[in-house]
Amino acid sequence: QSVLTQPPSASATPGQGVSIPCSGSTSNIRSNTVNWFQQFPGTAPKLLIYSNDQRPSGVPDRFSGSKSGTSASLAVSGLQSEDEADYYCAAWDDSLNGWVFGGGTKLTVL
């Protein structure tokens, strides 16, 4: 059981947009910034969004993040087939004194 809650799956057609929610609590998302990761099978997670809404260099601006209270979300616009992957949210938890993660959302591009 992951500390952060994500839907197990999401899907959309090429060119459409999709939003992936991440629900947490006061000790993690409300108190600290949120990271989002993209993971392809057999590879390590890759940082997609940090500090709630910042993109590392090289990440397309089709990916955006937001946070409100104890929830965050990752939005992907103009979906492409190569966006089909697993997406994870993460945040530092002040009560557990460690990083906590969502269970991951498998994004399918139909």
List 30, 46, 62, 106, residue binding other proteins (CB under 8 A): 46
Q: How far apart are CA 28 and CA 3, in angstroms?
A: 9
**Does the footprint of other proteins cover residue 97 (CB under 8 A)?**
yes
**Does the footprint of other proteins cover residue 103 (CB under 8 A)?**
yes
List 56, 60, 69, 78, residue binding other proteins (CB under 8 A): 56
Q: How far apart are CA 19 and CA 105, in angstroms?
A: 11
Q: Mention every residue, 6+ apart, whose C-beta is less than 8 A from residue 101.
A: 2, 3, 4, 88, 89, 90
**Does the footprint of other proteins cover residue 47 (CB under 8 A)?**
yes
- Measured from the CB of residue 66, what is the shortest distance to other proteins in angstroms? 16
Binding site for other proteins (CB under 8 A): 2, 32-33, 35, 37, 43-47, 50-51, 56, 88, 90, 92, 96-104
